[in-house]
Structure 1
Amino acid sequence: MYDVVLLTLGAGCGSPRVPVLACADALSAQGAKVETVTADSDAEIDAVLDGRRVIVATAADGQLRAVVRRLVRQYAPAPSKRPADLPPNRTIPDLPAIGVLSMDPKGDDLASRLGLPRDPADVAAAVLGDKVRRFDLLRNDGGSVTLDGALVGGTGPSSWRGRVEVDDAVLSDGQDPILACVVGNSTGYTQFDGYPLLTTPDPADGVVEVAVAVPVVTRRLLRQPRLRLEVRRARGRAVAITPRDEEIGYVDDGVKATLSHKRSWWVEPGAWAVYVR
């Protein structure tokens, strides 16, 4: 039977919460050796990625991303040591599967949008089995990853300017005022202010979907000008955003940050995996 680590992230978590205890009990009942670990740093996450089966107990999508980011760091080869058998559309090999245990089984998180097991006992059964689903992830040139998506701007009424390119398609040349730009892998950022942004997000289709929302003034004879939102979309292998403003707020897998220089994301098809029933 397997050794399993139940990994909780974040300082001040205190005693293991009910879903963690229930999952640990279900694992033990099946004969697994279980260790419960709380990690407060990258080094502490790295310490449990040692070949044992890992269940990530997530209170937020950013915590799941933090673990996958460390897996990428661990398994990504240096460009000078690229294996001959690595697919041409990938920079990392298949990452080992992980289990995902939501701290809010009824919440709207990435695990629910991916259709993953929600009940602690179901998560335990999945991790002790051998069935997995593989999903795409997005790497970026800042050294991080995105599992769900990034929303650039869109957190207030103000607009920003920047060049947005998806492969050879230019969604904005830097002159347009942009209210929001979504770099999407899954289904977390499908709307902005009631307007549909991503139309066909699929976390396993091997492409990144990008949408840019631009306000457009329509002038009509003898009538007041009308403001409408134009949404431009493209799908491809990679996206680059070059801001012209000094600093733009964005949210990546639920984690807030700022963008002040060019940032590129590219898709790694089927790179990460999750245990499923």
Structure 2
Amino acid sequence: MYDVVLLTLGSERDAPGGCGSGGACCGAGPASAKPAEELCETPRVPVLACADALTTRGARVEMVTARSDAEIDGVLARLDGPPRPDDLTWPDADVKTRLVVATASDAQLRAVLRRLVRRYAPPPSRRPADLAANRTVPDLPPVGLLPLDPAHSGTHRDLAAQLGLPRDPAAVAAAVLDGTPRRLDLLRNDGGSVTLDGALLGAADDEGRPLHWRGRVEVDDTVLSTGDDPLLACAIGNAGGYARLADVALLTAPDPADGLVEVAVAVPVVARSRWGGRRVRLEIRRTRGRAVAVVPREGGVPFLDDGSAGELSRKRSWWTEPGAWAVWTA
């Protein structure tokens, strides 16, 4: 039978890698009257239920709450394979320890995957012959995903909902013990992080109206914006969480397992009527490819990447790692 580690990340204040502002790590919003620590304790109910379901099936279960990168790394070390002649740290393809990540947000799952990549990605100077030509990381160990919000209220569908993964703790336990790995693409970027779902670049004013910004957006050899056009948004999609901007479809059919990233920019275009009137329409330019680069022209551009907020002030490139990570599915 398997050893199963149920990993929960600590409060937003202590969460490694940054999980966004406003209590994003624990599902708390800025308007919440409860302190983050209290909200972070509440979701442990599904963790305990999942642990009970696993134990009933004979699994040896350990529950770990990590509040630092080092504590996450201590859990991930249990997935290491035997020593290699090249001394690289490599995942065990036949590991008997299975990992379940309890997540209150996609940003928390991203924090764990970022540490997996950091652990197993070999330096370019030591690239082994058994690493696929289109990858910079080996096949990462599959993870079980336990959403801490079973109902998942809200307008943004998290990655578990998009992938059709179970949310009930008992169903998650069954997938981890009896299921099969479903391999998915991973986006790495030159800032040292990863993207599982997608990123949305742009900002809005206090009344929710998108603000114009300028930047060069290039996907492989296709230029979506030279930096001269005003942009309202740029969507970078591995999955479909950022496929829409209000009522406008930015991405058409992002597929997290097709080896490609879908990118779209929204450009306001002024059109004149035959009677001399003017109206603004939104032009959506989109394409697919293996890599995308965004270069802001002026100032910083706010963005959300797997739910984590930031500001892009210099060139950032994302590239696809086909089938690099995996989730346990029934």
- TM-score after normalising by structure 2: 0.82
1:172 and 2:221 correspond = no
2:129 to 84, 89, 92: 84
2:41 and 2:200 map into 1 onto residues whose CA distance is 32
1:198 and 1:276 map into 2 onto residues whose CA distance is 26
* Deviation sequence 1:178-227 (CA, Å, 0-9, x none): 00000100010111131110001000000000000000000122242010
Instruction: Look up the match of 2:236.
Output: 183
CA contact (8 A) 1:161 1:244 kept: yes
Deviation at 1:85, TM superposition (A): 2.1
Change (3 A) 1:4 1:242: same
1:30 and 2:57 correspond = yes
Change (3 A) 1:213 1:16: closer
Instruction: Look up the match of 2:303.
Output: 250
CA contact (8 A) 1:154 1:192 kept: no
1:140 and 2:185 correspond = no
1:126 and 1:7 map into 2 onto residues whose CA distance is 16
* Deviation sequence 1:26-65 (CA, Å, 0-9, x none): 0110111111111111111111111231100000010011
Change (3 A) 1:242 1:125: same
1:128 and 2:177 correspond = yes
1:102 and 1:185 map into 2 onto residues whose CA distance is 20
CA contact (8 A) 2:203 2:301 kept: no
CA contact (8 A) 1:137 1:271 kept: yes
Question: Secondary structure of 1:35's match?
Answer: strand
Deviation at 1:116, TM superposition (A): 1.1
Instruction: Look up the match of 1:112.
Output: 161
Change (3 A) 1:155 1:9: farther
Question: Secondary structure of 2:314's match?
Answer: coil
Residue identity in the other structure for 2:290: R
Change (3 A) 1:15 1:193: closer
CA contact (8 A) 1:77 1:92 kept: yes
* Of 137-146 and 4-13, the range deviating more from structure 2: 4-13
CA contact (8 A) 1:96 1:273 kept: yes
Change (3 A) 1:26 1:163: same
Question: Secondary structure of 2:265's match?
Answer: strand
* Deviation sequence 1:139-198 (CA, Å, 0-9, x none): 000000000000010444211000000000000000000000001000101111311100
1:202 and 2:224 correspond = no
Q: Give the aligned length.
A: 277
Change (3 A) 1:201 1:42: same
Residue identity in the other structure for 2:312: L
Instruction: Look up the match of 1:219.
Output: 272
Instruction: Look up the match of 1:6.
Output: 6
CA contact (8 A) 1:56 1:100 kept: yes
**Runs of 4+ in structure 1 displaced over 4 angstroms?**
none
Change (3 A) 1:48 1:15: farther
1:36 and 1:16 map into 2 onto residues whose CA distance is 13
CA contact (8 A) 1:154 1:181 kept: no
Question: Secondary structure of 1:176's match?
Answer: coil
* Deviation sequence 1:63-101 (CA, Å, 0-9, x none): 011111110001101101111122211111100001000
1:253 and 1:210 map into 2 onto residues whose CA distance is 15
1:48 and 2:97 correspond = no
Instruction: Look up the match of 1:20.
Output: 47
Question: Secondary structure of 2:41's match?
Answer: coil
1:112 and 1:67 map into 2 onto residues whose CA distance is 19
Residue identity in the other structure for 1:75: Y
Residue identity in the other structure for 1:72: V
2:191 and 2:224 map into 1 onto residues whose CA distance is 22
Instruction: Look up the match of 2:323.
Output: 270
CA contact (8 A) 2:301 2:311 kept: yes
Runs of 5+ unmatched residues, structure 1? none
2:3 and 2:246 map into 1 onto residues whose CA distance is 46
CA contact (8 A) 2:43 2:148 kept: no
Question: Secondary structure of 1:165's match?
Answer: strand
